[in-house]
Amino acid sequence: MNKISAAEGILFVVSAPSGAGKTSLCRELVDSFPDLRQSISFATRKRRHGEADGVDYHFVDSDTFRSMVDQKQFAEWAEVHGNYYGTSLQSLEGAAKGGIDLLLDIDCQGAAQIKNNFQQGVFIFILPPDYEELEKRLRHRGTETDDVIERRLANARKEIPEARWYDYLVVNDNFQAARDRLIAIVTAERCRSDRNVHLLDKFTFEGDK
Amino acid sequence: MNKISAAEGILFVVSAPSGAGKTSLCRELVDSFPDLRQSISFATRKRRHGEADGVDYHFVDSDTFRSMVDQKQFAEWAEVHGNYYGTSLQSLEGAAKGGIDLLLDIDCQGAAQIKNNFQQGVFIFILPPDYEELEKRLRHRGTETDDVIERRLANARKEIPEARWYDYLVVNDNFQAARDRLIAIVTAERCRSDRNVHLLDKFTFEGDK
């Protein structure tokens, strides 16, 4: 008798420069898959209007964050725009073992650490159509100062070349199309044979071979 | 100035045991993507009712087929159920260079040769839910004799373990769900970053680096 082993949970890591539409796209993705859970990062930045602690982020102060770094509790952590963000290693390991697919929405620095430290994950980079459109979207938000917008654009210029080592590039030229591409990536990755060899067990008989 | 290079066409290779629903699923896939062309194989088997030469297959006699084998015109060829089937190497190379995505519906022996000889392709295996369902579907067709059905079931038993080396496994437990999974695989593979690095060219500036 062959033992049927369950598949491990998949970690989907999504990065994008500010203004590329990552937050809205990730929300759509989670809404499309009831069995895909969004990973909740730790963050030291100020809570924005409409955000809730333990839902959007685990909001902590800088001292707490640093002590967690010292205790090696993070699979990745980084400073972005003057704040700290981090993902608990325990939560990633628990999801993988429990067969739970996880969506992790993080910046390039964090994604690179996940790739190095966690040794697994499907890496997706969302691209704006071009810089002009990215700037237009950032200015249309109307929530940031010119200084912040300039800093975000400078960051985008550094981050976009990093897209090269990601597994997938999704251009957000059209929101609906970008959403469909992300959904397709999750569906396709779930069909990868290395994650589904256990399906073949029931087709193998004692007499064969 | 960076030169923007176009992506190569992707070869999608789909295999399945007889009765798993491959033909109908491949038809749906081609209908869903106007820019995905179905590769037309050469075949020595008798043309079935409703099939057209040059559309379903290039129907040739055994002598013609053998001379093509001698001239190494095939990327793959195989004997299946007493007939010969083959795919022209030239057609695969032409599509790849021309940026045309191609769907190739072939048996496991042919798929393995493609993997060895053509060195590229996305390999998808369609699985029936189980043997009982496969047998039921074959008998429901009502077009084959018991002998042929028994031969197809014996072949399935040999072919299904081959699914292990394919890139994707798609279970056809529900036609609509299997169709959606296949569509997702095509969409996702088109987003793979190794095929889209040229998209990053427009984000690279002389001053950067």
Tokens 């200084």: give the residue: A147
Residue A138 lies in a domain: yes
Question: Are A203 and B164 a contacting pair at CB < 8 A?
Answer: no
Q: Does residue B59 lie in a domain region?
A: yes
Question: Are A185 and B197 an interchain contact pair (Cβ–Cβ within 8 Å)?
Answer: no
Q: Is residue A37 part of a domain?
A: yes
Per the model's pLDDT, the better-predicted residue between A207 and A77 turns out to be: A77
Determine, yes or no, domain membership for A197.
Answer: yes
Q: Is the pLDDT of residue A69 over 60?
A: yes
Query: Residue B23's Cα: distance from chain center in Å?
Result: 10
Which CB contacts under 8 angstroms, 24+ apart, belong to A202-209?
A202/A2, A202/A4, A202/B130, A203/B127, A203/B130, A203/B131, A203/B157, A203/B160, A203/B161, A204/A2, A204/B161, A205/B157, A208/B157, A208/B161
| Whole-angstrom distance, CA of residue A100 vs CA of residue A88 | 15
Q: Which of A164, A183, A187 sits opposite B200 (nearest CB)?
A: A164
Answer whether residue A173 is part of any domain. Answer: yes
Tens digits of residue pLDDT in B121-173: 999 999 999 888 888 888 887 777 888 889 889 989 999 999 999 999 999 99
User: What's the CATH number where B92 sits?
Assistant: 3.40.50.300
For the record, the structure tokens of A202 come out as: 């029931």
Q: Tell me, yes or no, whether A62 lies in a domain.
A: yes
Whether B63 has its CB under 8 Å from any CB of chain A: the answer is no
Q: What is the pTM of this model?
A: 0.88
Whether the complex's predicted ipTM is more than 0.85 is answered with yes
Number of structural domains (chain A) is 1
Q: Which of B127, B164, B202 sits opposite A130 (nearest CB)?
A: B202
Residues of A in contact with B183 (CB under 8 A): 184
Closest-CA residue to B180 (of B18, B16, B25, B19)? B25
Q: Do A168 and B188 touch (CB under 8 A)?
A: yes
**Is B4 domain-assigned?**
no
Chain-centre distance for alpha carbon A48: 20
Q: What is the pLDDT of residue A75?
A: 95
Contact A163/B205, CB-based, under 8 Å?
Answer: no
